[in-house]
Amino acid sequence: MTIAFVGGTHRTVPLLLRERLAFSAEQAAEALRRFRSRFPGREVVLLSTCNRVELYTAGESQSPPPADQLVSFLAECRGIDAGLLEPVLTPQQDEDVVRHLLSVASGLDSMVLGEPQIVSQVKQAWALARQNDACGPLTGEMFEAALRTAKRVATETGLGRERLSIPSVAVADFARGVFERFDDKRVLLIGAGKMARETLRYLREAGARDIIVINRTAERADQLAKSLGGRPGRFDDLAAELAAADLVVSTTGAPEPVVTPTVFARAEADRQGRPLVVLDLAVPRDFDPRIGDRPGVWLYSIDDLGSACDANRRSRQREMPAAVAIVEEETRRFMGDLHHRSTAPVIEQLRAGWSETGEAELDRLFRRLPNLDDTARLEIRQAFDRYAAKMLHPPLASLRNESHSGPPHGLLDALRRLFDLKE
Amino acid sequence: MIEFVSGISVVCFAASYLVALACEASRLLFRSGVRGAAMIAFAAAGLFAHTLFLLWRAANEHAVPLSSAFDWYLLVAWLLAGGYLWLTISNPKTPVGLFMLPLVLGLIGAAHLSSREPFPQSPATQVWGAIHGIFNLAASVAVAIGAISAAMWLIQAARLARKQAPTQGFRMPSLEKLTATTSRSLGLAAWTASAGFISGLVLNAVNRRQGLLETVPWDDPVVLRMAALVAWLVAAALVSRSIARRPNAARVTAWLSLVSLGVLTFSILWGLFGATRHGVPPSRPAAIVGEASQ
């Protein structure tokens, strides 16, 4: 049994080449069919995401297709010169492939450490292979092990728990710390940078409905409000809008603070003590930092949020050793099972040989003792079976133990010679 | 079965709550897949034993809940432990036990130090006695919940002010939710403590007029401490209400709630170790109640 792999990730393949190499679902299905006809008897799964293209193949044969053939196959499927791919795609075999797949599924090999989307992408790749009759028992067990490992890493470590993007941290770790719900809150959007839109997406997911968009240009505010599903406001009414808002997301490109302590003081008088969360995502800042010292105001600049993201990133890094240990444990378990499976033909022959000899001896015995009744015959037969099982137990247990540390070739050879088994 | 139930002691459920508290504290140190289940199991076992203990006393020792200082404290602890279990199951990520279980254990400790002798009762004053006990019970629970919520508010606010992401295993509810809980608890505590105090006065007056039982002097330490507690709670609730539309209202209310718990604790300690005629049978001289149980 052999497992082989060839693939490249964001670390090895430049973006331009990665874009050309990426497979759509239809293209991946076609590639799987072509692989099966090109390499009969080999199971195959193709994992293609925006950050990686990886081909996993497994089969009963002793030697897998050479790596250059797999690279050529991928190049041919995507119409790329194989010479461009050879230096950037990495080949791997057997245990290294399993370890790699388990790491990938657990998010340890992702651009954003521990990101959870990769698990569903691995599931989709495996499902596509099943739909196209491209995978079999070996890849099936391998991908099952990968998903089991991903689940263990997710539940037993904190690798994927902390958020890493500024908008998600802003909403989940800070805005949600102040507000229980958002469907009764007013969100004020000042300016419309890309990050503000992303933050607004998280706020909408959290339930925010009442969104006011203001911009120095009224037409731009109208357009943005329409595209973001909010209502346009007037920039001249900034103080009034601040008084009515519960949460402000600000991303103007203004060189000076848009909201000064003087502007805020006008709004503060009308706020009646309601708390205000300000996510100032602009550089330079839109809110004078002194506003953050006012009671009931929770002001977060992009640096504050960035620091929280960095802390979360460090926290994920601290979980790495535990996650790697799980991957190692599952890899060893899978390889042990795989090696044990390779001993199946020998075990079968061994059992068959003992059974055949036993049956012959039993027949001879029953012919010499014709007066035995059925109960006695059954007892004798069961005693023979128990004897055979007990005699076979030590060599089979040795085989199983030996499988944990690698293919038990030496022991298999010894058994074949000792018991005169065929290759 | 009877042997099993009669063998349950205060130590049994206190130990269960203590283990649940240790599990809660370990949230801050390491991650575990089984801790949540262990925490709930120990808290549930403790609450089960606690319930059986109260039922056994009610059925076999004629000590219905609220009938003695000992049972009163245990009933408050039982209510808070039940609340803890419910909150832990419904909000498993919030370490509410770190705040509630020390109070539960403190109340069990107070019960241990207090008298098990039933409060003197007569058929004419039984209803007023029950009303007095129930309102005081509700006030104590409200003060405890308000203070827990206030402590969580201050921790959450400090975290948000420091601009730090939540610590693993120490995620607090939102300020909005905590503000509402603190403020409502303080208001409820003021109302119920007032009702408890007034019903106590009525109970004492009925006793005095009918000469049924020996009355508590108006300057008895228990009367004074309860009056002080009620005055504090009413003042705190009024202050909290009057500043509700100010930006720092939530913070002030949180501190008022924490101080309320301090006043209640002081009041309980005074009750445990001070001389009083409250709850003492007519034949006995005024004594330190804690000594009466020895």
A315 belongs to a structural domain = no
Claim to verify: residue A151 and residue A207 sit in the same structural domain: no
List residues bridging with A57 in a β-sheet.
A4, A44
Give dist(CA A177, CA B163) in Å, integer. 11
Q: Write down the mean pLDDT value for chain A.
A: 87
Cβ–Cβ pairs < 8 A, chains A and B = 70
pLDDT in tens, B32-88: 768 888 889 999 999 999 998 888 887 776 666 667 778 888 988 999 999 999 998
Tell me which of A240 and B113 has the higher pLDDT: A240
Interval A269-278 mean pLDDT: 90
Claim to verify: residue A349 and residue A285 sit in the same structural domain: no
Does any CB of chain A come closer than 8 Å to the CB of residue B246?
A: yes
How far out from the chain centre does Cα B73 lie?
7
Claim to verify: residue A133 and residue A224 sit in the same structural domain: no
Q: Would the pLDDT of A228 be above 90? A: no
Claim to verify: residue A142 and residue A42 sit in the same structural domain: yes
B121, with CB counted inside 10 A (0-12, 13-18, 19+), is: middle
Residue B167 to chain A, least CA–CA distance (Å): 10
Q: State whether B247 and A178 contact (CB < 8 Å).
A: no
Tell me which of B128 and A280 has the higher pLDDT: A280
Q: Would the pLDDT of B284 be above 60? A: no
Q: State whether A173 and B166 contact (CB < 8 Å).
A: yes
Claim to verify: residue A133 and residue A20 sit in the same structural domain: yes
- Tell which phi-psi region holds residue B227, choosing left (phi > 0), alpha (psi between -120 and 50) or beta: alpha
Claim to verify: residue A10 and residue A117 sit in the same structural domain: yes
Does any CB of chain A come closer than 8 Å to the CB of residue B33?
A: yes
Chain A neighbors of B246, CB-CB under 8 A:
273, 295
In this prediction, residue B132 has a pLDDT band, given cuts at 50, 70 and 90, of: confident
Which residue does chain A place closest to B33, by CA atoms?
A: A156
Q: Helix (H, G, I), strand (E, B), or coil: what is residue A250?
A: strand
Q: Three-state SS string across chain B, please?
A: CHHHHHCCCHHHHHHHHHHHHHHHHHCCCCCCCCHHHHHHHHHHHHHHHHHHHHHHHHHHCCCCCCCCHHHHHHHHHHHHHHHHHHHHHHCCCCCCHHHHHHHHHHHHHHHHHCCCCCCCCCCCCHHHHHHHHHHHHHHHHHHHHHHHHHHHHHHHHHHHHCCCCCCCCCCCCCHHHHHHHHHHHHHHHHHHHHHHHHHHHHHHHHHHHHCCCCCCCCCCHHHHHHHHHHHHHHHHHHHHHHCCCCCCHHHHHHHHHHHHHHHHHHHHHHHHHCEECCCCCCCCCCEEHHHHCC
Does any CB of chain A come closer than 8 Å to the CB of residue B209?
A: no
Given B159, B174, B246, which is nearest A180 (Cβ)?
Answer: B174
Chain B neighbors of A272, CB-CB under 8 A:
245
Answer with the one of A308, A325, A357 that is the final residue of a domain: A308
A161 belongs to a structural domain = no
Claim to verify: residue A246 and residue A367 sit in the same structural domain: no
Residue A9 to chain B, least CA–CA distance (Å): 31
Does any CB of chain B come closer than 8 Å to the CB of residue A303?
A: no
Claim to verify: residue A233 and residue A295 sit in the same structural domain: yes
Chain B neighbors of A308, CB-CB under 8 A:
163-165
Task: Determine the pLDDT at residue B123.
Answer: 65
Interface test with B, best of A161, A176, A291 (most B CBs within 10 A): A176
In this prediction, residue A329 has a pLDDT band, given cuts at 50, 70 and 90, of: very high
What DSSP line would sit under A285-313, residue for residue?
-SB-GGGGGSTTEEEEEHHHHHHHHHHHH
A332 belongs to a structural domain = no
Q: State whether B247 and A294 contact (CB < 8 Å).
A: yes
pLDDT in tens, A72-128: 999 999 999 999 999 999 999 989 999 999 999 998 888 777 777 888 899 999 999
Q: State whether B165 and A181 contact (CB < 8 Å).
A: no
Phi, psi of A65 (to 5 degrees): -60, 140
Domain ranges of chain B: 1-114, 119-294
Does any CB of chain A come closer than 8 Å to the CB of residue B91?
A: no
Q: State whether B165 and A312 contact (CB < 8 Å).
A: yes
Average the pLDDT over each of A267-281, A304-318, B114-128 and give the range with the smallest value.
Answer: B114-128
Which residues are within 8 A (CB) of A221 and not within 5 positions of it... i.e. 6 or more apart?
A: A213, A214, A215, A232, A233, A234, A235
Task: Determine the pLDDT at residue B215.
Answer: 67
A318 belongs to a structural domain = no
Alpha carbon of B45 to those of A159, A253, A413, B76, B80: distances in Å?
33, 60, 58, 18, 15
Does any CB of chain B come closer than 8 Å to the CB of residue A39?
A: no
Give dist(CA B254, CA B268) in Å, integer. 21
A317 belongs to a structural domain = no
Share of chain A above pLDDT 70, in %: 98
Interval A175-198 mean pLDDT: 87
In this prediction, residue B288 has a pLDDT band, given cuts at 50, 70 and 90, of: very low
Q: Would the pLDDT of A327 be above 70? A: yes
CATH number at residue A28: 3.30.460.30
Average the pLDDT over each of A130-144, A323-337, A374-388, B22-36 and give the range with the smallest value.
Answer: B22-36
Interval A319-335 mean pLDDT: 92
Does any CB of chain A come closer than 8 Å to the CB of residue B31?
A: yes
Report whether A256 contacts A286 (CB < 8 A).
no
Give dist(CA B258, CA B96) in Å, integer. 16
Does any CB of chain B come closer than 8 Å to the CB of residue A156?
A: yes
Claim to verify: residue A152 and residue A208 sit in the same structural domain: no
Residue B98 to chain A, least CA–CA distance (Å): 19
Give dist(CA A92, CA B209) in Å, integer. 96
Q: State whether B249 and A273 contact (CB < 8 Å).
A: yes
A337 belongs to a structural domain = no
Claim to verify: residue A137 and residue A184 sit in the same structural domain: no
Answer with the one of A125, A156, A187 that is the final residue of a domain: A156
- Number of structural domains chain A divides into: 3
DSSP state of A259: B
DSSP H helical segments within A90-237, as ranges?
95-105, 117-131, 137-156, 166-169, 176-178, 194-205, 218-228
Which residue range(s) make up the domain with A11? 2-156
Q: Are strands A186-191 and A247-251 parallel, antiparallel or unpaired?
A: parallel
Interval B11-31 mean pLDDT: 87
Which residue does chain A place closest to B244, by CA atoms?
A: A273
Given B163, B174, B246, which is nearest A273 (Cβ)?
Answer: B246
Catalytic positions of A: 50
Claim to verify: residue A261 and residue A294 sit in the same structural domain: yes
A32 belongs to a structural domain = yes
Does any CB of chain B come closer than 8 Å to the CB of residue A298?
A: yes
Task: Determine the pLDDT at residue B144.
Answer: 92
Q: Helix (H, G, I), strand (E, B), or coil: what is residue A314?
A: helix
Interval B159-181 mean pLDDT: 89
| Matching residue, tokens 């070739």 | A409
Q: Helix (H, G, I), strand (E, B), or coil: what is residue A57?
A: strand
Does any CB of chain A come closer than 8 Å to the CB of residue B62?
A: no
Q: State whether B168 and A315 contact (CB < 8 Å).
A: yes
Claim to verify: residue A53 and residue A194 sit in the same structural domain: no
In this prediction, residue A241 has a pLDDT band, given cuts at 50, 70 and 90, of: very high
What DSSP line would sit under A335-394, residue for residue?
HHHHHHHHTHHHHHHHHHHHHHHHHHHHHHHHHH-TT--HHHHHHHHHHHHHHHHHHHHH
Which residues are within 8 A (CB) of B65 and not within 5 positions of it... i.e. 6 or more apart?
A: B54, B58, B71, B72, B74, B75
What DSSP line would sit under A86-132, residue for residue?
TTT-EEEETHHHHHHHHHHHTTTTSSSTT-THHHHHHHHHHHHHHHT
Residue B245 CB neighbours (<10 A): 10
Rg of the Cα atoms in chain B: 20
Residue A187 CB neighbours (<10 A): 25
